[in-house]
Structure 1
Amino acid sequence: MHVAAGVLVDGAGRVLLAQRPPGKHLAGRWEFPGGKLEAGEDTAAALVRELDEELGIAVDPLSFEPLIRVPWSYGERPLCLDAVIVRAWSGVPAALDAAAIDWRDPRDVDPSLLAPADRAILAALRLPEHYPVTPSDVSVERAATLVRAALARGERLMQWRLPSVSLAEARKGAAGLLPELRRFGASLLLNRDIEGARELGLGVHLSAAQLRELDARPLPPSQWVAASCHDADELAMAVRCGCDFATVSPVMPTASHPGAEPLGWPRFAKLAEAAALPVFALGGVGPHEVAEARMHAGQGTAGIRAFWRA
């Protein structure tokens, strides 16, 4: 089943959610409005029709911006959910086919209230285009200086990865950044340190080995959970563990892993399109490859050297 979802964004950055009515599958859950493609329709045409039928508005396809494609399965009901950002329409949205509608800031939406397939859409909305990772060969003090400089220039999502220092030192350094992170509304994910993330209220970035050991999400929805993935099996494990997003690497040749065979953009796109969560391209890419990553179904780019040089 192919479904189109419209992510209506108003001038204040709020998005429109619709509550599924009684008697329907997942009744009471909230979702992004839309519906099934009919025979001969593409995503844009289906969205124009569905938003007219469900909300009574006329949308402009020229304002559409692809966000994410989510493959999902509700038991024996597999579907492909194409989410599209909609920024222009005429008319006032009304709950013509929903129990209720509500405008919400994406940051304030509880993912557990959404239909499961729609949670990846919410994550894609919340996530930025960059995901810098701290250099592995620097001191805690130097890493903290780099993070503060990155916050000042606009980065809002970073990974705290310091394999050359003790766990206690790394946690202490991350704790020292909490005031700046809160002031900027930014997120820091601790590399592999689930307990440290729980203690400090931060996110965690899991290794592929950790994914194999987990059978449930290790943190509450208010804290990011990400994972390092390299193939379709690891991406499937990340979804099973309730991860919010993943990195896939290496996309291009990289000095940090000279013996690893790069995926290239076509193979990266195949993995990203089949993943039911946002995916960042990692390995041999930097902030200037965001457009390339977006063209190949990625959320954006992650990296080390290129981001801190910038």
Structure 2
Amino acid sequence: MLNVATIKKTSHQKIINVAVAVIHYQAQYLLGFRDATQHQGNRYEFIGGKIDADETAKQALIREVAEETGIDIHDNTIVKLGRLHHDYGDKQVSLQVYNIELTAPQYEQHRYLSHGLEGQALAWVNKSELLAGKYHLPDANKTILEWLHLPAQIAISYPLTHFSDQPNPVAEWLTYHMEKVASHAWLYIRVKDSDLDNSVKQLMSLRPDIQVILPFDTHAHTHAQSLRDGYQIVAHQLTHTALMEWFDNRQDGFVGKQTLSTDRPLIVSCHDAASIYAANELARTRLQQQLPPIIGIFLSPVLVTQTHPDTVPLGWKSWSALAQLADMPVIGLGGLSPAMSEQAYQYGGISVAGIRQFI
């Protein structure tokens, strides 16, 4: 188990590189418990430990999990969730966080673990209780919990133009999404027409089960009252253009306050290495300012889309290479279907999103 308290503090506060394993089987997650004598003691934590100088993060992950729990994850799919830097004041840690889902036989073999191989207490906990904050984790782990809110699939609303042949397109837009969006789905509502403002509010009122993502640039403040009214706005989406404007301007001392001050997590749109680098910078800035984190990036287009058939897609191989650069979970977008969730996971993604086939 990670024990940064045993690492000697130096005058320049050497950064401790740590591999973190978010191990689960379906909705059951494995946590360790830190002894009171340890740094950040009397808290639960994800399994993990220091990355040695002669090993990669994944090698450290496999080694630490085996040493602490006896679980062999060598043949499991290991997908990066993200990277985090946290300053505890007396110690600085850089966490490389990975998602590992156990197979049914692995879970059956280890489901009754109560203590690890190093004598530490272990517990399998339900995801809903974990995300609700029932288990007290070190401060550096809080962003991980935000990442874990992301579902395997995110639906995107149809544009108003999709209903342009109807007598009342706005009413048809509302009726369609009210009836067709799955129960408790995450829905990114791409609103580009002011006529839809009231319909968006109506949709959230009529379907309070929907977990809504709204564009930050136009609706983060328009719907402030909706936030107070308790609608399930789980994140704001920042466009690629807005992201790059923030990144380009930050060197000149201008930081878009709206971009950084939203009281909800962000999901950022990226298309290339430059925008992913900008998203990483924004993520670090938000954590430094103790603002809600970036919980994911829409990385697109993976495949050819009907709406932009002339845009050259990344393809799975290039998409996967770009996903490795991100310091937060990656969501596949562009020409995908819900059935491709597992394929995206194999290529390093946590989720897939789209319009057609998702609603």
TM-score, with structure 2 as normaliser: 0.66
Of 158, 179, 191, 1:135 maps to 158
> Matched residues in 1 for 2:62 and 2:303: separation?
38
- Contact kept, 8 Å, 1:246 with 1:280, in 2: the verdict is yes
> Matched residues in 2 for 1:37 and 1:140: separation?
56
* TM-aligned CA deviation for residue 160 of structure 1: 2.1
- Contact kept, 8 Å, 1:226 with 1:244, in 2: the verdict is yes
- Contact kept, 8 Å, 1:111 with 1:122, in 2: the verdict is no
Aligned length: 292
> Matched residues in 2 for 1:160 and 1:108: separation?
28
> Matched residues in 2 for 1:59 and 1:270: separation?
28
Matched residue type, 1:290:
S
Residue deviations 1:222-264 (CA, integer Å, cap 9, x gap): xx64232332134215524412222112223334345655333
* TM-aligned CA deviation for residue 62 of structure 1: 7.5
Match for residue 78 of structure 2?
Answer: 66
- Contact kept, 8 Å, 1:131 with 1:302, in 2: the verdict is yes
> Matched residues in 2 for 1:233 and 1:252: separation?
22
| Structure 2 residues without counterparts, runs of 5 or longer | 1-16, 164-169, 247-255, 287-292
Match for residue 114 of structure 2?
Answer: 93
- Contact kept, 8 Å, 2:114 with 2:121, in 1: the verdict is no
Match for residue 12 of structure 2?
Answer: none
Match for residue 276 of structure 2?
Answer: 232
Alignment of 1:151-190 (within 5 A): 151=182, 156-164=185-193, 165-178=195-208, 181=209, 186-190=210-214
Match for residue 29 of structure 2?
Answer: 15
Q: What is the SS of the residue equivalent to 2:294?
A: coil
Structure 1 window deviating more from structure 2 (108-117 vs 76-85): it is 108-117
Is 2:231 the counterpart of 1:215?
Answer: no
Matched residue type, 1:176:
L
* TM-aligned CA deviation for residue 147 of structure 1: 4.9
Match for residue 281 of structure 1?
Answer: 332
Q: Which has the larger radius of gyration?
A: 2
Match for residue 292 of structure 1?
Answer: 343
Match for residue 302 of structure 2?
Answer: 251
Match for residue 46 of structure 2?
Answer: 32
Using a 3 Å threshold, how does the CA distance of structure 1 residues 120 and 64 change in structure 2: closer, same or farther?
Answer: farther
* TM-aligned CA deviation for residue 210 of structure 1: 5.5
> Matched residues in 2 for 1:16 and 1:232: separation?
30
Matched residue type, 2:268:
A
Using a 3 Å threshold, how does the CA distance of structure 1 residues 7 and 144 change in structure 2: closer, same or farther?
Answer: farther
* TM-aligned CA deviation for residue 202 of structure 1: 2.0
- Contact kept, 8 Å, 2:33 with 2:45, in 1: the verdict is yes
Using a 3 Å threshold, how does the CA distance of structure 1 residues 302 and 140 change in structure 2: closer, same or farther?
Answer: farther
Identity of aligned residues (%): 23
RMSD: 3.7
Structure 1 window deviating more from structure 2 (156-165 vs 16-25): it is 16-25
> Matched residues in 2 for 1:255 and 1:66: separation?
32
Q: What is the SS of the residue equivalent to 2:301?
A: coil
TM-score, with structure 1 as normaliser: 0.74
> Matched residues in 1 for 2:261 and 2:139: separation?
15
Matched residue type, 2:215:
N
> Matched residues in 2 for 1:104 and 1:238: separation?
32
Match for residue 264 of structure 1?
Answer: 315
Matched residue type, 1:245:
G
* TM-aligned CA deviation for residue 277 of structure 1: 1.8
Structure 1 window deviating more from structure 2 (244-253 vs 232-241): it is 232-241
Is 2:81 the counterpart of 1:81?
Answer: no
> Matched residues in 2 for 1:227 and 1:283: separation?
15
Alignment of 1:93-112 (within 5 A): 93-94=114-115, 101-110=122-131
> Matched residues in 1 for 2:237 and 2:24: separation?
32
> Matched residues in 2 for 1:264 and 1:144: separation?
35
> Matched residues in 1 for 2:80 and 2:141: separation?
10
Structure 1 window deviating more from structure 2 (132-141 vs 188-197): it is 188-197
Match for residue 194 of structure 1?
Answer: 220
Match for residue 11 of structure 2?
Answer: none
